[in-house]
Amino acid sequence: GQQVMQIPQYQHVQEGEDFTTYCNSSTTLSNIQWYKQRPGGHPVFLIQLVKSGEVKKQKRLTFQFGEAKKNSSLHITATQTTDVGTYFCAGPLAGSYQLTFGKGTKLSVIP
Amino acid sequence: DTGVSQDPRHKITKRGQNVTFRCDPISEHNRLYWYRQTLGQGPEFLTYFQNEAQLEKSRLLSDRFSAERPKGSFSTLEIQRTEQGDSAMYLCASSLVGGRNTQYFGPGTRLTVL
């Protein structure tokens, strides 16, 4: 079945350092979605990428979708304590609306 | 803010009891999804509805799990004869038909089975 993998599983950074999480799917995706889950919270939608090679920015966050539409990355520039949480990527199962989520990357920011 | 709401937020029950959770989606959203999330994992898809039709239920974890959306608005997820392994966060999400399947999640119901 479809698998979505994320690395690293955990990342500890000093405040002000950059952070990147990588997402890889076993199948080609029609789109990929990124979510952020704060400790004790629920997943909150960040962005959706649809086109091959697409790059989107949201302030300090940069999202990329690979040319083959099987991988994606999220890069945060100059992390802040408000960036703390777990970042998930998710892709739709072919022919369905259900999302397959990665295990997430848990980001800790040391002030 | 009329986001996705879930009730109750927390449920503690004894093994063998039945539990039911409710989800109210964003009002104009006609797709509704149920996921389960355990510690350290991403949400795991269970089932989804388009309006009142349940279009995918093969991922429900066992025949003890069932979901309904009788009028195409709110949905309920029932777990019969709960087991300790059912302890998890149960998340509901909704999306709009015709959109790009962007799913908006509710706050979840945390189930603890003693």
How does pLDDT run across A56-81, given as a tens digit for each residue? 999 999 999 999 999 999 999 999 99
Provide the shortest C-alpha distance from residue A62 to chain B (in Å).
19
CB contact under 8 Å between A98 and B41, yes or no, is no
Give per-residue pLDDT as tens, B42-71: 999 999 999 999 888 777 778 999 999 988
pLDDT category, B28, cuts 50, 70, 90? Answer: confident
Q: Which residues of chain B are within 8 Å of residue A43 when distances are taken between CB atoms?
A: 43, 91, 105
Q: What is the residue whose two structure tokens read 């998930």? A: A88
**CB within 8 A of A106, min separation 6: which ones?**
A9, A10, A11, A85, A86
Q: Is A101 on the interface with B (CB under 8 A)?
A: yes
Q: What is the residue whose two structure tokens read 């397959």? A: A100
Q: Which residues of chain A are within 8 Å of residue B33 when distances are taken between CB atoms?
A: 97-99
Q: CA A101, CA B40: separation in Å to the nearest integer?
A: 12
Provide the shortest C-alpha distance from residue B83 to chain A (in Å).
23
